[in-house]
Amino acid sequence: SYEVTQPPSVSVSPGQTASITCSGDKLGYKFTSWYQQGPGQSPVLVIYQDSKRPSGIPERFSGSNSGSTATLTISGTQAMDEADYYCQAWDSSTTSYVFGTGTKVTVL
Amino acid sequence: EVRLLESGGGLVQPGGSLRLSCAASGFTFSSSAMTWVRQAPGKGLEWVSSLTNSGVDTYYADSVKGRFAISRDYSKNTLYLQMNSLRAEDTAVYYCAKSGGLAVEAGGYFDYWGQGSLVTVSS
């Protein structure tokens, strides 16, 4: 089965840039989406189809995808951005969606 | 406003059955694929099953294939997940999610999520 991996944790200072990676075989050939999940809350879509931002999501969230790595970037990180982040893609070989292992972002 | 409200969770013994429901409102139910995603306690998100907007095509994770069945009722704007032969490892919060398009395919994403329904499988 297709696997996508993320670093377990990322730490960032307020106002700085956080980069969260998602790695998988030829992931750059697949569309990747990203979800933010606060403690005890449901996931929220923050980026879809690699780099599109849903309405209501701040411009400081951006995404890219190339080669074997997709990246979610949070520019000017704020305390409210502290949460778990998951990437998601479609595996055509098994016709199944797959989520990344998740990254906990801590704003120090 | 899009709303997804799950119900039907609870405590069930191993080998038992449970049916989850997800009442949808605020969008054209027949124009969106729908999905179930679960999250075991303290763990990450796991895709469970998806259903196209027409209800014709269904997709399942290997971990639930043959035990779970996804369906939808257009007259009630409701998504279902019938769960049979439940195991301890099925214990999780189950989220209903609306897809951003008609189909279940590459580029698919989940733009709205419910609040989740807890399923506990234990004797």
For B79-102, the pLDDT digits (tens) are 999 999 999 999 999 999 999 876
Which residues is B34 bridged to in the sheet?
A: B51, B98
Place B71 in a pLDDT band, splitting at 50, 70 and 90.
very high
Interface-testing mutation among B37, B38, B109, with chain A (most A C-beta atoms within 10 A): B109
Q: Quick check: B62 contacting A, CB < 8 Å?
A: yes
Length of chain B: 123
Q: Which of B47, B107, B112 sits opposite A96 (nearest CB)?
A: B47
Residue B31: half-sphere exposure toward Cβ, Cα within 13 Å: 5
- DSSP letters, B18-53, are EEEEEEEESS-GGGS-EEEEEE-TT--EEEEEEE-T
Tell me if residue A49 falls in helix, strand or coil.
coil
Share of chain A above pLDDT 70, in %: 100
Task: For A57-74, write each residue's pLDDT tens digit.
Answer: 999 999 999 999 999 999
- Judged by a CB distance cut-off of 8 A, whether residue A33 touches chain B is yes
- A95 at interface of B, judged by CB pairs closer than 8 A: yes
Nearest C-alpha in A relative to B98: A45
Contacts of A31 in chain B (CB under 8 A): 106-109
Q: What is the dihedral of CA B48, A48, A11, A9, to 10 degrees?
A: 20
| Cα dihedral B91, B40, A48, A39 in deg (nearest 10) | 130
